[in-house]
Amino acid sequence: MPKSDCPERNNRSEEQVSGAKVIAEALRTQDVKYMFGVVGIPVIEIAVAAQELGIKYIGMRNEQAACYAASAIGYLTGRPGACLVVSGPGLIHALGGMANANMNCWPLIVIGGSSEQSQETMGAFQEFPQVEACRLYSKFSVRPSSIEAIPSIIEKAVRSSIYGRPGTCYVDIPADFVNRQVNANSIKYVECCMPPPVSMAETSAVRMAASVIRNAKQPLLIIGKGAAYARAEASLRKLVEQCKLPFLPTPMGKGVVPDNHPNCVSAARSRALQFADVIVLFGARLNWILHFGLPPRYQADVKFIQVDICAEELGNNVRPAVTLLGDINAVTKQLLEEFDKAPWQYPLESTWWKTLREKMKSNEAASKELASKRSLPMNYYTVFYHVQEQLPRDCVLVSEGANTMDIGRTVLQNYLPRHRLDAGTFGTMGVGLGFAIAAAIVAKDRNPGQRVICVEGDSAFGFSGMEVETICRHNLPIILLVVNNNGIYQGVDTGTWKEMLNFGETATVAPPVCLLPNSHYEQVMTAFGGKGYFVQTPEELQKSLRQSLADTTKPSLINIMIEPQATRKAQDFHWLTRSHM
C-alpha cells in the first residue's frame, strides 16, 4: 500500500519521544514508584516526565538527603527508590547515600545527569568520571550507549539492586540524551523483572544447625536487619516461641520479634553476648556492631551458626560451626521443619535463663533510676522514658546521633518490623530527615495516619536540618525530637561557653565538640509553617509531645534541652574503641 494511503500508520511510525520520557517510562515499567532528588541542568525534564507518569517525585534540599530517602524506600518496600541528581558535584554529594545503601544492603537506583557525549574530555560543564567513580559505591554502574538501550539498562539496574545481596545501582545519562527525540517505535520496554528468587540452605546443613542448637547449654539468637528486609518476622517469632530461645535484635532488627516479648534479652545484651555458647545469626553480620564475633565480647569457643543470603559473608572474622546460605525467611522455615519433626524446647528454668533475667532486671532498674531523676536539665533517660510513654505502637522510629541513638535504642521500644531506621552499618550521620521523609511518604500511601517520630541529636540535626522545608512543603506527619546537649557527644552550658570565649585576650577558645548553647532549632520548623516547641522540663516535654501527636495537620519539632554533660550509664564494653575524652 502506498505510504500516503495509510496516514494513521504513518503517524505512529513518525511519533517521537524524548529521552526523559523513555527514562521515566522504563522506571515505571520496573515498578519504581518513588523518586527523590535535586533538579537542575540537565535532569529537570526527567523529574517532570516521572511526575506525568505517576511516579511520586519529592524534591529535596540536598542530594545526600535525597539519596538517603531513596535508599530507605528500598528497605521499607523491597523495591528500590530512585534518586535523581545533576552532574559532577550533584552526583558527588549523592555518593554518601550510595555508599550507605550499599553497606546497609538496601536496593537503590541513582540516575545521574552527566556532560554531553560530544564534549567528553573537553572540559565540559561539571564533567566528571561518574561511571568510574560510582563503581566503588554500587553493584552496577553504567552509561547507556543510546536512548534505545535505556529500558534494558534500567531493568538490569533494578534487578541487580534487589537480587542476591541488595545494593546500589547507578545509571549515567548524558545531557544530550534528555531532550533528544527518537522514534517511539524504536523503543522496546522490558517487562518488569521478576521478584528475587528464593534460595534455601542445604538440608544436611539445616539438620546440623538444629543439632547444634539442641545441644547448646547457653543459646542465643541474634536477629539482624537482614531478617527484617527478608520479611521473616512470622517464622522467627514462631521459632523463638516454639523453642523458648532467648533473642537479641540488632538496632534495625528491633521489632522483627517485638521488643517487649518475654524472650527478648536486649536489657542484658553484654551478658548474653559474652557467655552464650551457641549463637545463631539471622541476617546479622559479625562486623563492628557485633564486635566482630571475637573475645572478649564472646567466649573463645562459642559456636556461630550463620544464616545469610550472601555467600561471601559466611566465615567473616570467625570459623562458623554451620553456615546456612539462603533467604532468611526460607531458611528459618527449614529450621522450624526440623524442630517439628522432633519437638524440642530450651528449658525456661535453666541457669542461663535465670542469669539473663537477673541481669535484665538490674540493668532495667539502673535505667529507671536515671530516668527518675528530677534535677534539671534533664538527662537522656528521663527524656526517652517520657517519650516512650506516649509513642503510638505503630509509629516508625528514626534515630541518629551518638548518645541519642545509642541510649534511645535501649529505651524506645519497637513492636513491628521495619519500623526503626538509624545510622546503620556505615554509622552515617545525616540520614535522619531523609529516612523520616521516606517513611512518611510510604505511610501516606500504605497506612494513612501513621506517625513518624524522628529522634535526633542536635549535631545530627545539623547535617540535614533544611529538609524541614521539604517536610513542611509536603505536609508530612513527622514529629522531630531534637535532644539538645549543645554539642557533639557532650557540650557546655551558657555560662561555661561565655567563660571560654572570654578567656585570654584572643577570645577564640571553642572546643571542637561544642556547639552554640541553647540554640533554638524549633524556629527552623516555625519558619516554614510547622509547630515548634522549646522544652526544658518533663512536664513541657509531655505536653508538647501530646499536642504534636494530636495535631495531624502540621509537622512539628520539639527542641529538648538536656544536661550538656549527660551520658549513658556505665557500660561493660564500648561499641568502639573511643577517644579518651
Mean confidence (pLDDT) of the chain = 93
Tell me whether strands 108-114 and 81-85 are parallel, antiparallel or unpaired.
parallel
- What was the pLDDT predicted at 502? 74
- What was the pLDDT predicted at 9? 47
581 — pLDDT class (breaks 50, 70, 90): very low
User: Is 111:23 a contact under the CB 8 Å cutoff?
Assistant: yes
Give yes or no for residue 505 having a pLDDT over 70: no
* 3-state SS string for 232-296: CHHHHHHHHHHHCCCEEECHHHCCCCCCCCCCECHHHHHHHHHHCCEEEEECCCCCHHHHHHCCC
In the 8-state DSSP scheme, what is residue 42? T
- What was the pLDDT predicted at 117? 83
Over residues 263-291, mean pLDDT:
97
The cell numbers describing 459, all together, are 549535631
Give yes or no for residue 569 having a pLDDT over 70: no
Q: Which of 97-106, 303-312, 366-375, 472-481 has the lowest mean pLDDT?
A: 366-375
> What is the Cα Rg of the chain in Å?
26
Measured in degrees and rounded to the nearest 5, phi and psi for residue 230 equal: -80, 0
> What is the 3-state composition of the chain as percent helix, strand, coil, each rounded to the nearest 5?
45, 15, 40
Give yes or no for residue 332 having a pLDDT over 70: yes
Over residues 138-142, mean pLDDT:
97
531-551 pLDDT, tens digit per residue, is 999 999 999 999 999 999 999
Q: Which of 378, 374, 370 is nearest to 484 (CA)?
A: 378
Over residues 272-297, mean pLDDT:
97
222-248 pLDDT, tens digit per residue, is 999 999 999 999 999 999 999 999 999
508 — pLDDT class (breaks 50, 70, 90): low
196: left (phi over 0), alpha (psi -120 to 50) or beta: beta
The residue type found at 249 is P
570 — pLDDT class (breaks 50, 70, 90): low
How large a percentage of the chain has pLDDT more than 90? 88
- What was the pLDDT predicted at 150? 98
Over residues 489-509, mean pLDDT:
77
344-392 pLDDT, tens digit per residue, is 999 999 999 999 999 999 999 999 999 998 899 999 999 999 999 999 9
Give yes or no for residue 575 having a pLDDT over 50: no
- CA-CA-CA-CA dihedral for 92, 94, 99, 101, to nearest 10: -170
pTM higher than 0.85:
yes
Across 268-280, b (16+ Cβ under 10 Å) vs e yields: bbebbbbbbbbbb
Over residues 65-84, mean pLDDT:
98
- What was the pLDDT predicted at 577? 44
Q: What string of DSSP letters covers 199-210?
A: P---HHHHHHHH
83-134 pLDDT, tens digit per residue, is 999 999 999 999 999 999 999 999 999 999 998 887 788 787 888 899 999 9
Give yes or no for residue 436 having a pLDDT over 90: yes
- What was the pLDDT predicted at 566? 87
